[in-house]
Amino acid sequence: MMAGILKFIDIHSCHAIIYASTRINEILAPCYPHIEFKPLLEEDVTIPYATYYMGLFFNQDHHWQPYDFRTYSLIQQGQHILGLNDFEKLPPPEVKGAETNPLGDKPEPYVAISYTGSKQCKFWNNPLGWYEVVKYLKGQGLRVICIDRDPAYGIAPLVNIMPPGVEDYTGNLPLSNRVAILKGAKFFIGTPSGLAALAWCCRIPVVMISGFSLPFAEFDCYRVINPLSECKGCWNDTRIDFNHHEMHWCPRIDPQIKAKQYEIDKEELSEKPNKERLAALRVEMQELQNKKFICTKSITSNMVIAKIKEIMQ
């Protein structure tokens, strides 16, 4: 959104104050000395002429955003709020990294990855995906550096573990540390997350693996999606209000699972349960369980490797 803010300042000849988290301010403020950056907690200290709240507003709230964000990209969302032309492609903002790369002054060629997401639908749910991609990258003579905060993330029964074979640079570290690593990387591979956006800001190629969002939802990158998957794009479906509180939420499959469970319970509680029908219902239930997160389960390692080859050719 920084490019949009810069354009807004230019159009209106105004002084801008940006309230953001300290982590964000540390990597942006050094690149934009003409803009005042303040911590979020100081937001009510000054009384500006006008205030724009930059973000996503749910429950179809049009008070803070002119259009439904699900039908536009995250970049266009910021442009809409600022009243800018959303057809203009704006560049990623500049970010300041640490003075030294945590991997050393002249590290061997490496790739940075992020395997995590805030919800299970954002993860790459193909169980062999990361293993096969990491194996391919190492076979090409590349180190693979994991820069996520957590080496393990999730809620039982689905707990996601850092891919085997990667170098562990996880930890709750400053973003400037991540920027320094990213700027030295050949490219970045990850899911739709803040680290993917940070890699984009570092001006390196980004391979993004996603099925829960459609390709227009994020920035230009080497996007990996399975167009033949029977279910995809729930994030951009205006019939669905995204559930931020359920880690394992799968909006189109979960209602089917609930309905199937009702059928099973009804049959089990009947006076004379039909064993054959119960067996068939349980098979159908298992098939539905297997379809959860099919949007990324159906993304193969070869699909990701094909994008990697595009970058490396």
Determine the Cα–Cα distance for residues 310 and 257; give it in Å rounded to an integer.
Answer: 39
Determine the Cα–Cα distance for residues 163 and 136; give it in Å rounded to an integer.
Answer: 13
37-46, 91-100, 117-126, 277-286, range with the lowest pLDDT: 37-46
Average pLDDT, the chain: 93
- Whether the Cβ atoms of residue 187 and residue 111 lie closer than 8 Å to each other: yes
> From residue 146, how far is each of 133, 143, 187 by CA, in Å?
13, 10, 12
Ordered by where they begin, the domains of the chain are: 2-81 (no CATH), 110-231+295-312 (3.40.50.2000), 254-291 (no CATH)
3-state secondary structure of 143: strand
Determine the Cα–Cα distance for residues 95 and 108; give it in Å rounded to an integer.
Answer: 23
- Whether the Cβ atoms of residue 27 and residue 176 lie closer than 8 Å to each other: yes
Exposure class string for 174-183: b at 16+ Cβ within 10 A, else e: ebbbbbbbbb
52-56, 150-154, 209-213, 305-309, range with the lowest pLDDT: 52-56
> From residue 226, how far is each of 124, 129, 134 by CA, in Å?
12, 13, 20
Pairing of strands 152-155, 158-161: antiparallel
Q: Confidence band (pLDDT; 50, 70, 90) for 46?
A: low
Residues of the chain above pLDDT 90, percent = 81
Handedness of CA 161, 162, 164, 168 (dihedral sign): negative
pLDDT score, position 57 = 84
* pLDDT at 24 > cutoff 80: yes
Averaged pLDDT, 90-115 = 94
pLDDT score, position 44 = 64
> From residue 224, how far is each of 22, 64, 120 by CA, in Å?
32, 32, 17
The CA radius of gyration of the chain, in Å to the nearest whole number, is: 22
Determine the Cα–Cα distance for residues 192 and 213; give it in Å rounded to an integer.
Answer: 8
pLDDT digits (tens, 9 = 90+) for 180-212: 999 999 999 999 999 999 999 999 999 999 999
